[in-house]
Structure 1
Amino acid sequence: MKRRAPAAERNREPILDVLQRVLPDGAFTLEIASGSGQHAAHFAAHLPGVTFQPTDPDPAAITSIEAYRAELDLPNFLGPLRLDAAEDTWPVTRADAVVCINMIHIAPFRACEGLFRGAARILPPGGVLFTYGPYRFSGAFTAPSNEAFDASLREMDPSYGVRDVDDLDRLASQWGFVREETVPMPANNHCLVFRKTA
């Protein structure tokens, strides 16, 4: 059964605007934590030269992604795979880009660490790791709403929370990435574009 996330409907166009710039034509793009599948469906429909491989660890999400894929029947929208970013083994061994939208704050930090570690394993030099969501910058929230959101996340699960970009930059450096671009987005979110250098 198809799921529908209102936030995905709202943010898909601003995110697409950035992806159109940073994903090269012909790129095989691995999406981590695809959720409902709405993003993969929208991006595949608007970027016919880019192949999207959606993934998620949740069986219900896999079912939803497959429903969107079957409905669109696009050659560049591949069938979903099970993938947990925190695990050391991923079902994809090579990609040109990795896209991760709204996962980092609603998963334990080990999933964020696994994201960078896994992306370093499968991306070539020059490959893009793209993340989107709410962030702190050097300890500061970008808006009171993000601070309240962080508190609600930590109440739900102490291992969740709005991550600090300084911590992501440290992970990036550890795994051979540099943050190339920081793009402010609606609703106090940001796109972070990391590039693999080594």
Structure 2
Amino acid sequence: MSLPFSEACEKNKQPILEVIRPLFEKAVSVVEIGSGTGQHAEFFASSMPAIHWQPTDRAEHLAVIEARRQASGLSNYFPPLELDVNSDWPIQQADNIFTANTLHIMSWKEVEKLFAGIGRVLLDGGLVCLYGPFNYQGQYSSESNARFDEWLKQQDPNSAIRDFEAIERLAGRVGLSLLQDIAMPANNRCLVFKKPVR
């Protein structure tokens, strides 16, 4: 099988690693939602060998992720699980959660379902890392993000760059508090939320 290749994943994997490596320093496992080509899963599993990396995605992406996993030979890169936010989740609990460039390609209802699912499965003390572009106070952070948002809506009217404030409210509804909001290359952000220990 010829494996699909995402140039964006290739460009952003190292900057993301620099952010998440200290965050997940003591982590046992991370569930990745929307693993796509599996490139992030392979790179992060390789770079953080003590962590069990669990990729997930919709059914149509699983074969590619599995082929990349098998080719990698990494024992901590787990077989992908089918996860569609509109359906029952295949995992009952997660120590930590990571997702990159997913919120803007989901509908808002799906984003709400994503957070509802995170609220159900994330264990106390767990972290959620969200990577991607976000607006602040309804404003684009760059001209390139404005053009990207226009392109997204042409592909699917339900897609859009999400407002940081709306995401923070959703997170708060499921018991998450903002830990860090980190500027990333190419006008992206990494939002880190934590579920408190009760």
Q: Give your verdict on TM over 0.5.
A: yes
Question: 181-190 or 116-125, which moves further after superposition?
Answer: 116-125
Residue correspondence of structure 1 range 47-196 to structure 2 within 5 A: 47-59=48-60, 61-87=61-87, 89-196=88-195
Q: How far off its partner does 1:86 sit?
A: 3.2
Q: How far off its partner does 1:125 sit?
A: 1.5
Matched residue pairs, number? 196
Contact kept in structure 2, 1:136 and 1:165, CA below 8 Å? yes
Superposition CA RMSD, Å: 1.1
Distance 2:14 2:52 in 1: 18
Distance 1:182 1:119 in 2: 19
Aligned residue number for residue 46 of structure 2: 45
TM-score, structure 2 normalization: 0.95
Distance 2:168 2:122 in 1: 17
Distance 1:160 1:31 in 2: 20
**Structure 2 SS opposite 1:140:** coil
Letter in 2 for 1:18: V
Letter in 1 for 2:71: E
**Residue 24 to residue 85, structure 1, CA distance change in 2 (3 Å):** farther
Aligned residue number for residue 19 of structure 2: 18
**Structure 2 SS opposite 1:90:** coil
Letter in 1 for 2:76: N
Distance 2:27 2:178 in 1: 23
Q: How far off its partner does 1:113 sit?
A: 1.2
Distance 1:49 1:121 in 2: 25
CA deviations 1:43-85 (Å, max 9, x no partner) are 00000111111011042x2111111110112111000111012
Distance 2:86 2:132 in 1: 18
Between the two proteins, what is the percent identity of the paired residues? 38
Distance 1:90 1:28 in 2: 17
Q: How far off its partner does 1:26 sit?
A: 4.0
CA deviations 1:162-196 (Å, max 9, x no partner) are 00000001101100001110111111000000111
Contact kept in structure 1, 2:27 and 2:96, CA below 8 Å? no
TM-score, structure 1 normalization: 0.95
Q: How far off its partner does 1:146 sit?
A: 0.3
Distance 1:26 1:151 in 2: 38
